[in-house]
Amino acid sequence: MAGYYIIIVISMLVSWWVSSRLKSKFEYYSNVHLRNGLSGKEVAEKMLRDNGINDVQVISVPGQLTDHYNPGDKTVNLSEGVYMQRNAAAAAVAAHECGHAVQHARGYSMLNLRSKLVPIVNISSNLMQFVLIAGIAVMAASRTIENPNGNTTVLAIGVAMFAVTTLFAFVTLPVEYDASNRAMKWLKDTGTVTAEEFVGVQDSLKWAARTYVVAALGSLAQLLYWGSLLLGGRRD
């Protein structure tokens, strides 16, 4: 299990560093005020209108980094700061979340795939740690002279659950990058932000995307670890 904890610690450290950089970037670009004076809410509503989307509501939700698009009730949910602020960071977040609304309206395939995976991922993420630990215990307890590797069935189920969450993390990457690309293209093409403000938008979204990359790679590293235990247990 030492290897697993090493992977966890490394993943946590890298994630912390990227998150810290993201926070500092957003704090910096929160001081780059938009010349047009639009708030995050107004940027979001403008992007939706420009894309012919009239059935999505922009609402404010409490907390920080709670911004998201909900395809179920068709709402762009902006954290209180983003909803009210009139700066490059708020414009970046608001346009990014609207990018997801545009994906939904256009039937973007990777967003549809991610939505279909959500119910399975919810079940897997809640149970997989228990199943993995139980799998290790069963494998160790069932070892005999005739079967020195033990029973690996439970562990295999746990690894399969982990594989689903890892797949979800990698499916999320193109979804997030595409939403950011849609946001940046619209902000630039419509002149909603100036060239100076666009630099802040681009840099903010770049660091936001890296949080998803770190999460996906961390999940893959953990999956490979558990997979190696499973294959090792099945080795004759």
Are the beta carbons of 78 and 48 closer than 8 angstroms?
A: no
Nearest to 78 by CA among 63, 125, 106: 63
- Interatomic CA distance for residues 112 and 107, integer angstroms: 7
Residue 64 is predicted with a pLDDT of: 84
- Which amino acid makes up residue 78? L
Element (H, E) at 185: helix 153-189
Residue 236 is predicted with a pLDDT of: 40
Name the CA radius of gyration of the chain, rounded.
Answer: 22
pLDDT tens track of the chain, all 236 residues? Answer: 666 778 888 888 998 999 899 889 988 998 999 999 999 999 999 999 999 999 999 999 999 889 999 999 999 999 998 999 999 999 999 999 999 999 999 999 999 999 999 999 999 999 999 999 999 999 989 888 777 778 899 999 999 999 999 999 999 999 999 999 999 999 999 999 999 999 999 999 999 999 999 999 999 999 999 999 888 755 44
Residue 143 is predicted with a pLDDT of: 83
φ, ψ (nearest 5 deg) of residue 102: -65, -40
Domain boundaries, the chain: 1-233
Residue 233 is predicted with a pLDDT of: 56
Structure tokens that stand for 157 in this block = 């189920």
| 63: number of Cβ within 10 Å | 9
